Amino acid sequence: MDRGFKVLIEDLHFAYDGFPVLRNIQLRVKAGELIGILGPNGAGKSTFLKILCGTLRNYQGRVMVDGLDLRSLSSREMARRIAIVPQDSLLGFDFTALEVVLMGR
């Protein structure tokens, strides 16, 4: 087991109706590290984030959060470990993305 990584993704693959969207994704994120996901339309960014937040679970490969297999976590356990800030927020207040994430903690 790789220690020291908050998020560990190995050999991640995902397909919609047999059409491959994500192929052989590898990622290691340490605690406190910030990353960005960039790519053109249709590159799989949203699919990747849906897997990481637990919405899509029918992927191939290994996705670990805090050393735990993502598929084994309940919704409550996921919420304690992963926060997603959508691009379009329905909040009627003027908060930064950082402030919204900190509110969820």
- pLDDT score, position 91: 60
For 64-77, how does the pLDDT look when each residue is reduced to its tens digit (9 = 90+)? Answer: 998 999 999 988 88
Q: How many distinct structural domains can be found in the chain?
A: 1
How far is 43 from 46, CA to CA, in rounded Å?
Answer: 8
Token pair for 64:
């670990």
| CATH number reported for the structural domain that contains residue 9 in this entry | 3.40.50.300
Q: What's the pTM?
A: 0.75
- pLDDT score, position 26: 97
76 Cβ contact list (under 8 Å, min separation 6): none
- pLDDT score, position 1: 47
Residue range(s) defining the domain that contains residue 23: 5-104
For 8-45, how does the pLDDT look when each residue is reduced to its tens digit (9 = 90+)? Answer: 999 999 999 999 999 999 999 998 898 889 999 999 99
